[in-house]
Amino acid sequence: MPKQNEGMKRTLLFALTLIAVGCADPIPRNLDDLSRQGIQYQDPETLEPYSGPAYRVSEDDPTQIVLRVNLRDGRFHGNFKDFDPERVEEDLGIYQTGTYRDGLREGRSEYFYPSGVLRGRGTYKNSEVNGTYESYYENGELRSKSAYVVGELDGPFDFYYENGQLQLRGSYTAGERHGPTDFYYEDGQLRFKGIFDMGEECGTWIEDEGTRISPPPYELCPPGLEDGN
């Protein structure tokens, strides 16, 4: 028997033992055994919205839990854990964690590599990324840092090489690159720099130590855009 299946079956047997001795906590329900209307889950017999703990199992292995979540009035509500289907150990196999409120993602969420190292984190509002989102390399170095407004890139962003050196710096407005943007080599030297006007290059772009990039400059930028306004 594969080691992963053994570990999960021990977990399921432990849960059944608690139930057998009269554990007062609600028995978790399999989400696939509930009826679903949109984002609301119902008891298939009573058609009443389900409240309580729930889980989902892998399509390939019914002994492998891939999601743990709570529901209130039929909707995801509270903390959840989403497991990497390739790793069933609860503390090492977590793919992402976060919180739901009345069926929508809300608050801080974190994502992890299979090794357990943090991969990214951000904040949700009404199931949309809202605020700062950070991603990381598996060695722990910051990979990117971006600003979102209700699911759309809006504000400054940075990208980094795996050695920690800045690779790219710029900004977005309403999902479009907008304003000065600088690109760097891995050793920290300037690669080239220029300006975006709502996703379109404008003005003069400079390469390395002041060499103007060919072809000739783009259309003039709107007044003040060179300063990031």
CA angle 140, 144, 148 (to 5 degrees): 130
Q: Is the peptide bond before 215 cis (omega within 30 degrees of 0)?
A: yes
* 74 and 149 share one domain: no
Full-model pTM = 0.79
User: Which residues form the domain of 57?
Assistant: 1-129
**Both ends of the chain: CA-CA distance in Å?**
63
How do beta strands 29-30 and 52-57 pair? Answer: parallel
Domain boundary among the residues 129, 148, 166 is at 129
Domain boundary among the residues 88, 110, 129 is at 129
For residue 69, give the CATH number of its domain.
2.20.110
For the four alpha carbons of 173, 176, 179 and 180, in that order, the dihedral sign comes to positive
* 65 and 141 share one domain: no
pLDDT digits (tens), the chain, 229 positions: 444 444 444 444 444 444 444 455 679 999 999 999 988 999 999 999 999 999 999 888 888 889 999 999 999 999 999 987 665 554 447 899 999 999 999 999 999 998 889 999 999 999 999 999 999 999 999 999 999 999 999 999 999 999 999 999 999 999 999 999 999 999 999 999 999 999 999 988 988 766 666 666 788 899 888 665 5
Say how many domains are in the chain. 2
181 neighbors 172 (Cβ within 8 angstroms)? no
CA-closest candidate to residue 183, choices 151, 205, 204, 198 = 205
